[in-house]
Amino acid sequence: MPTRALPFDPVYEQIPDDEAETTAELADTMRTITETTYADSGHAIRSVHAKSHGLLLGEMQVAAGLPPELAQGIFAQPVTLPVVLRLSTNPGDVLDDKVSTPRGLALKIIGVDGDRLPGSEGDRTQDFVMINAPAFTASTPKKFLSNLKLLAKTTDKAPGAKKMLSAVLRGTEAVIEKLGGESGTIKSLGGHPETHILGETFYTAVPVLYGQYFGKLSVAPVSPELTALTDAPIDLKDNPDGRPAQGFSRAAAANGKCACNWRPTSTRCRSRMPPCSGPKTKALT
């Protein structure tokens, strides 16, 4: 199916009447998670994606000659910009890696010029927050709030039970995938396969305004060193923090490369954006 850029029209954006109330409840629930983990550990951590699995430095190279629908914003002109990437998993409490949940990628691009939102006029960065699924598990803010409240009740509780539940859910997800299916819900509850985080493809999950168009952005591995890690199992026996240890030094040594992709909202196809390469990539420890 050919890729077709979809121009943005306000008709596509449907804002719930109770959006402000839902947003306030989300903020309160996230604060509850943060207060719980702070009271237990004495350290302030994020309310979601609390566990970092590694920080990477690299650079993004914007290719010349992009078609007009792709040459938007930071991709409008050929340029090479430094980037910082943080890889994480989604719980708000820092859990054993055997509790296998969906992964996240925060991408900060440095040296970005252009119009800024109010309050950020002096900044020269642009951030993208991604998950390793093309669509967000919750379809509405209300649904996400419901899921978050459930997680808040279990924050910093029963870590051993969470490991056992994750093992059961991974088995369930494996059966579903052998039958050709996939369950985002089971993965989000701890049933994500124990695979290498550097082999994942990450998506903005929701569309972003992209010039006059809107669509999703993704980051995907393209170098052989990283594609070899896609769906590759990892051994976490007796190693509660094994995910960052298995492969970040390899990524730095191999100058791993990934590609930024643009996914039009109207199709399931992706157009290749310029490669995000890592000739200077190194892991921060």
The residue extents of the domains of the chain are 48-284
Tally Cβ neighbours within 10 Å of residue 283: 16
Give residue-wise pLDDT tens across range 131-151.
999 888 888 899 999 989 988
Q: Quick check: 249 pLDDT over 70?
A: no
| 248: confidence class by pLDDT, cuts 50, 70, 90 | low
Q: How far apart are CA 67 and CA 210, in angstroms?
A: 13
Range of lowest pLDDT (22-31, 89-98, 125-134, 262-271): 262-271
Range of lowest pLDDT (36-50, 222-236, 243-257): 243-257
- Between 123 and 274, the more confident residue is 123
Tally Cβ neighbours within 10 Å of residue 176: 15
Q: Quick check: 4 pLDDT over 90?
A: no
Average pLDDT rounded to a whole number, residues 156-179? 92
Average pLDDT rounded to a whole number, residues 183-193? 88
Contact 108, 60 (CB under 8 A): no
- Between 164 and 246, the more confident residue is 164
Measuring CA to CA, which residue among 277, 229, 220, 240 is closest to residue 89? 240
221-224 — which CB contacts under 8 Å span 24+ positions?
221/256, 221/257, 221/258, 222/257, 222/258, 222/259, 222/275, 223/254, 223/255, 223/256, 223/257, 223/258
Give residue-wise pLDDT tens across range 105-126.
999 999 998 888 899 888 999 9
Contact 105, 127 (CB under 8 A): no
- Between 266 and 247, the more confident residue is 247
Q: What is the pLDDT of residue 269?
A: 28
Q: What is the pLDDT of residue 18?
A: 93
Give domain 48-284's CATH architecture. Answer: Beta Barrel (2.40)
| 242: confidence class by pLDDT, cuts 50, 70, 90 | low
Q: 132: number of CA atoms within 13 Å, CB side?
A: 26
Q: Quick check: 282 pLDDT over 70?
A: no
Q: Quick check: 128 pLDDT over 80?
A: yes
| 72: confidence class by pLDDT, cuts 50, 70, 90 | confident
Q: What is the pLDDT of residue 281?
A: 40
b/e per residue 209-223 (b: at least 16 CB within 10 A): ebbebbbbbbbbbbb
Q: Quick check: 267 pLDDT over 60?
A: no
φ, ψ of residue 224 to 5 degrees: the values are -55, -35
